[in-house]
Amino acid sequence: MESLKGQLLIAGGGLFDPNFRRTVILIGEHNEEGALGVVLNRPTPHRIDEAVPPLAFIVAPDDPLFFGGPVQPQSPVVLAEFEHPDFADLLVFGSIGFMTGDAVPESREGIKRARVFAGYAGWGAGQLEAEVDEDSWITEPALGDDVFTAEPEALWSRVLRRMGGDYRLLSTMPFDPSLN
């Protein structure tokens, strides 16, 4: 399988794992050793200035902390859009990439916008490929507006709608299909 770096993983209609039900994940790295990414559409009720005060200067006032995934949820992960792509420690696509904990700048200089995530999603070698083959995930190229959407809770439906066809129909599926 070709690398999914810079792609969105959109949870398929049959993916009921509570960690990933109706999630949209940005894949930050994907190679023969595995993959990692962050869930883009799960804001928490906690603000950055309360949850991770040292990182509050990176985001807009009142920005929430996002649930990035079940791996190391106590560790913050910073995803940002940079003025210059080479400012990113791990470039994902365009000028969007991750900053590592050791490389968080002293100021917001060079950062256009950012999000802070609690933890990340990770897959071992071959695991993500198997899940994609089982139709657990739908892939789509990521856009900057997906990463930094003002309406993260609507992202799953919005991305599926823009994909059209059968995906448009899937976008209308209720969270609990048994209630339909």
Q: How many domains does the chain have?
A: 1
| The predicted structure's pLDDT at residue 82 | 93
Summary mean pLDDT of the chain: 91
Asked whether residue 25 is assigned to any structural domain, the reply reads: yes
Asked whether residue 58 is assigned to any structural domain, the reply reads: yes
Residue range of the domain that includes 79:
7-179
Q: pLDDT for 61-78, tens place per residue? A: 789 999 999 999 999 999
- Three-class HEC string of 58-108: HCCCCCEEEECCCEEEEEEEEEEEECCHHHCCEEEECCEEEECHHHCCCCC
Asked whether residue 38 is assigned to any structural domain, the reply reads: yes
Q: How many CB atoms lie within 10 A of CB 137?
A: 21
| The predicted structure's pLDDT at residue 62 | 85
- CATH number, position 66: 3.40.1740.10
**87 with 140: CB under 8 angstroms?**
no
Average pLDDT over every residue of 158-175: 89
Asked whether residue 96 is assigned to any structural domain, the reply reads: yes
Total-model pTM: 0.92
| The predicted structure's pLDDT at residue 178 | 62
- pLDDT exceeds cutoff 90 at 118: yes
Asked whether residue 2 is assigned to any structural domain, the reply reads: no
Asked whether residue 1 is assigned to any structural domain, the reply reads: no
Q: pLDDT for 137-147, tens place per residue? A: 999 999 999 99
Asked whether residue 22 is assigned to any structural domain, the reply reads: yes
| The predicted structure's pLDDT at residue 107 | 60
Q: pLDDT for 43-65, tens place per residue? A: 999 999 999 888 888 898 789 99
Asked whether residue 45 is assigned to any structural domain, the reply reads: yes
